Structure formats: structure tokens, C-alpha cells
């Protein structure tokens, strides 16, 4: 790992490239009518993945960058669940047939804040509206502090086979600073409950760059996490954007690690996980060698979408719920962010699309290049450009941000084949950004590159 590069590039604000173009470029010119037309135009053999956003939590974690709100009244959650079911029925009716579903992902917020019977009803509604394949991966994001045995049973009966647990850090000093006190014992108990219920796929989410965090505390969190033997880890750098997420103002900026300290923490976590036998997947994921994600990485079939790295090969992602984003061959759509506006659209019988983006041929080409860089740390520009009917040389000429990266040894260019140097892989977002025709470096919309 090169510390000079971390100092040079680490403070840049860059997208995580879970889509291209990224969400700040979505426009209200794409609305409900456009989404309805795109749905009706899906090819007959299309299969889909489903994302359901549940924007409620019992208390706010101050580091959170998600669209969520604190709720105490369970009737609000129940009403939202009914709206989700209505939206599912509307989308299925607009498509006009019962398409296959290979992946379902519940995100938030805290999806398991729903009553167990409500969760089961929602799963039943999806199975009625779509043909959920028996082999489908059904994943749920979980806050271990609030998960109940009844919800675990509802998940088991509904076919859930993967759980993603928010851990972040086991350091009590860090936990108090981010308003998320969660003991190791709580987390271990939830892992045991899930596995006892047959929910074998377990992911842990960790974060570096949090207030008061040090390399030592990061490594202690990794050591404790390894004792619970999750299949996968997601390791994210904390994005401090208090201008956009006002609750982040509760975090004292004076105790946030600087760019080099964040780099040290990221490297320490990565090295510890690799030493424990996990395969590093792209920018921020780690998996056991026999895990499907590690296999996809080796086979060069790994993909990237709004949930991060995925084994999902589908071209259709249907998003349900307030703020949810969908991806269709024609482009991206996003629902109303505010829960009230979202619910009002759905209950009036209208899709809740608030904005989106229609893809151009150039967007599709650049999206393919960026995805391969993010997934494989390399891209065969000649092959990708040829598939899109474009000369690789023209694409390279348009990527002016690539020149300093080549000069600094971050990128190697062998003919039309681009590769990120092994000791510079932590700068993969900087390399991907070289092909981003929409990037405005002057806008502080994204997290630090390191």
C-alpha cells in the first residue's frame, strides 16, 4: 500500500459506483409514466431482482447515510407495509405477466422492524405477484439489537437464506460516539438464532473512519467478528456529509480520523481478513473462498448494483418503497423519498416514481467499463468498446483523468487493457472516475476516495 498515493488522492470525493450515472444525475423528467412504459417493454424472457426499502428505525445511528426515520408507533409501520404490497401489485400488473425473480433484498432502515406476520404477508405478496424461483437468494439487513425470535421464525418460514448484520465496531467508545451501543454478546446470540433456524448465509458490515476509531480498535472488532465466522464481510469507509445528513452533526469532527488514518484502518482490516482466509472482493467486500461471491470474482462474473457487489446477473432491479431505486435496460428510476409523498402516489393508484435517468449508448459503454474496473480491478477496453461499436482509442482520449494515474503508477495500460496496480487497489474509485463523463469534482456529493 502506498501512503504517498493515499495522501494525493485520498481526499477526493468520489462515487462508490453502485450505478452509472450515479443518483445525483437523476432528473424529474423521468416519472411514473416513463417507468410504466419501461415496465411494459420488458422482454418476455426477463427475470428480475427485487429491492424493498423499509425506512424506519427505533433510534438513529449518527453515522447513518440511509433514508430512514425514527418511529415509535407500530401502526405507521403496518400502514407502510400495506403500501408496499399495493406497489408490488401495481408493478406486476404494469408488467403484465408474472416474471421470474432470482434475488430479493430487504434494506433500510431496519427491515425487521416489521411485525413478523407483516413480514410473512409481504413475502407472500411477492410470491403471488412474481415467480420467485426456489433457488432465489432472499436477504435481509438486520440490526442485532432489535431482532426477535418470532421474526427469525417468520424469516425462516418465508424462505430467507441470507442475513446481513450491522456490526460497524465493537469498541464501546466508538459505539457511544455514534449512538449505537451493541455488545458482542447480542451479536453472537443473533448469529446463533439465525443459524439454528437454517439461515446459513451470514454477512457482517464493518465501518472504518468512525469517531475515536484506531487501527487497534478495528483489529479487535475483526478478531471478535471472526470468532462468529460470517461468510462475508462488507467494510465501508464512513462518509461524513452533515450538510446532507443533519444527524451526523452529532458527531464531533475533531475526533474523526484523517485521510491517512482511514487508509491505515482500511489496510489493517483488509490484511487481517485476508490472513484469516477471506478473499478480497473488489473495493470493500470479503468472502470465504467457497462462497458464491468469491467464485463469481474468480470467474469474472461478479456484478455491482445498489446493494454493492453481487452475484446477481439480472438486468432488471425493481425497487419498492420510499426512496427505492430500480434499474431497467432503459435506465434508472427512483421513488419519492418522503414517505408521505410515496404513500400518496401508491394509494392513488399511481406509481411513485419521482425521478430517474434514461441511458444513452455512451452511458452504457462507460457503465460497462466502470463495472469491470470496480469488480475486477481491470478492464479490457478493446473488447468492451468493440461490443459497443466504439474505438478504444477514442475512449482513452476522453479519459483525461487517467493520465496522472498512469504517471503515478496506479494504473498500467498494456495496449487496450487497463489494470489497477496491486498496491493501488484502494484507489479503484479514482480509476473508475476517469471514465465518468458526468463527474463534477467541484461538488462535494460523495464520500472520500479512501
Per-residue pLDDT of 171-219, as tens digits, reads 999 999 999 999 999 999 999 999 999 999 999 999 999 999 999 999 9
Write b or e for each residue in 369-395: b if 16 or more Cβ atoms lie within 10 A of its Cβ, otherwise e.
bbbbbbbbbbbbbeebbeeeeeebeeb
82: pLDDT strictly greater than 60: yes
Q: Which of 14, 15, 21 is nearest to 438 (CA)?
A: 21
For 313-368, what is each residue's pLDDT tens digit? 888 999 999 999 999 999 999 999 999 999 999 999 999 999 999 999 999 999 99
Q: Per-residue pLDDT averaged across 393-398, rounded?
A: 93
Counts of helices then strands in the chain (DSSP H, E): 16, 21
Q: Give the global pTM.
A: 0.93
Place of cell 424529474: 28
24: pLDDT strictly greater than 70: yes
Q: Under CATH, to which class is 21-358 assigned?
A: alpha beta
Give 442's pLDDT tier (boundaries 50, 70, 90). low
In the prediction, which pLDDT does 310 show?
93
In the prediction, which pLDDT does 150 show?
98
223 CB-near residues (< 8 Å, 6+ apart): 272
* Count of CB atoms situated within 10 Å of the CB of 338: 15
Q: What percent of the chain has pLDDT over 90?
A: 87
For 293-304, what is each residue's pLDDT tens digit? 999 999 999 999
Q: Using CA atoms, how far apart are residues 270 and 280, in angstroms rounded to an integer? A: 7
Q: Using CA atoms, how far apart are residues 362 and 343, in angstroms rounded to an integer? A: 35
Please provide the DSSP assignment of 17-70 as one string: -SSSS-GGG-BTTS-HHHHHHHHHT--TT-EEEEEEEE-EESS--TT--SS-EE
Domain with CATH 1.10.10.920 in the chain: 361-448
Domain with CATH 3.80.30.20 in the chain: 21-358
In the prediction, which pLDDT does 443 show?
56
* Count of CB atoms situated within 10 Å of the CB of 181: 11
Q: Which of 85, 107, 91 is nearest to 18 (CA)?
A: 107
- Fold classification of 361-448 is Arc Repressor Mutant, subunit A (1.10.10)
Q: Are 370 and 22 in contact (CB under 8 A)?
A: no
Give 441's pLDDT tier (boundaries 50, 70, 90). low
Amino acid at each position: 500500500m502506498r501512503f504517498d498515493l493515499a495522501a494525493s488522492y485520498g481526499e477526493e470525493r468520489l462515487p462508490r459506483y453502485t450505478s452509472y450515472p450515479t443518483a445525483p444525475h437523476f432528473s424529474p423528467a423521468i416519472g411514473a409514466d416513463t417507468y410504466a412504459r419501461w415496465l411494459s417493454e420488458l422482454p418476455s424472457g426477463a427475470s428480475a431482482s427485487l429491492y424493498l426499502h423499509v425506512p424506519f428505525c427505533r433510534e438513529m445511528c449518527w453515522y447513518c447515510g440511509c433514508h430512514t426515520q425514527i418511529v415509535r408507533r407500530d401502526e405507521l409501520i403496518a400502514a407502510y407495509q400495506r403500501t408496499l404490497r399495493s406497489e408490488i401489485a401495481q408493478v406486476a400488473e404494469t408488467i403484465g405477466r408474472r416474471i421470474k425473480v432470482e434475488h430479493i433484498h430487504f434494506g433500510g432502515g431496519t427491515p425487521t422492524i416489521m411485525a413478523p406476520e407483516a413480514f410473512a404477508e409481504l413475502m407472500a405478496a411477492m410470491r403471488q405477484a412474481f415467480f420467485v424461483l426456489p433457488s432465489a437468494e432472499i436477504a435481509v439487513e438486520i440490526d442485532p439489537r432489535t431482532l426477535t425470535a418470532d421474526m427469525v421464525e417468520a424469516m425462516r418460514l418465508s424462505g430467507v437464506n441470507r442475513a446481513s448484520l450491522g456490526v460497524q465496531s465493537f469498541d464501546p467508545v466508538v459505539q457511544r460516539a455514534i449512538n449505537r451501543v451493541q455488545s458482542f454478546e447480542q451479536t453472537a446470540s443473533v448469529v446463533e438464532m439465525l443459524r439454528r433456524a437454517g439461515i446459513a448465509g451470514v454477512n457482517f458490515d464493518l465501518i472504518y473512519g468512525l469517531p475515536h476509531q484506531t487501527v487497534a480498535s478495528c483489529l479487535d472488532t475483526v478478531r471478535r467478528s471472526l470468532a462468529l465466522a460470517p461468510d462475508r464481510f462488507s467494510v465501508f469507509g464512513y462518509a461524513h456529509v452533515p450538510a446532507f445528513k443533519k444527524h451526523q452533526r452529532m458527531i464531533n469532527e475533531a475526533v474523526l480520523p484523517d485521510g491517512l488514518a482511514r487508509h491505515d484502518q482500511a489496510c489493517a482490516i483488509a490484511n487481517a481478513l485476508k490472513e484469516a482466509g477471506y478473499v478480497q472482493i473488489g473495493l470493500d467486500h470479503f468472502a470465504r473462498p467457497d462462497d458464491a461471491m468469491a467464485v463469481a470474482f474468480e470467474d469474472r462474473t461478479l456484478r455491482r448494483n445498489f446493494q454493492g457487489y453481487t452475484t446477481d446477473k439480472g438486468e432488471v432491479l425493481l425497487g419498492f418503497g420510499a426512496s427505492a431505486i430500480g434499474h431497467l435496460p432503459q435506465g434508472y428510476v427512483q421513488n419519492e423519498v418522503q414517505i408521505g409523498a410515496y404513500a400518496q402516489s401508491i394509494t392513488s393508484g399511481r406509481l411513485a416514481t419521482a425521478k430517474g435517468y434514461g441511458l444513452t449508448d455512451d452511458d452504457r459503454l462507460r457503465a460497462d467499463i466502470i463495472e469491470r474496473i470496480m469488480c475486477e480491478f481491470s478492464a479490457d477496453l478493446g473488447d468492451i468498446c468493440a461490443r459497443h461499436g466504439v474505438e478504444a482509442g477514442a475512449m482513452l482520449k476522453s479519459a483525461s483523468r487517467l493520465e496522472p494515474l498512469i504517471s503515478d503508477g496506479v494504473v498500467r495500460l498494456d495496449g487496450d487493457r487497463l489494470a489497477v496496480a496491486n498496491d493501488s487497489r484502494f484507489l479503484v474509485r479514482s480509476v473508475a472516475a476517469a471514465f465518468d463523463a458526468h463527474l463534477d469534482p467541484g461538488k462535494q456529493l460523495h464520500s472520500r476516495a479512501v
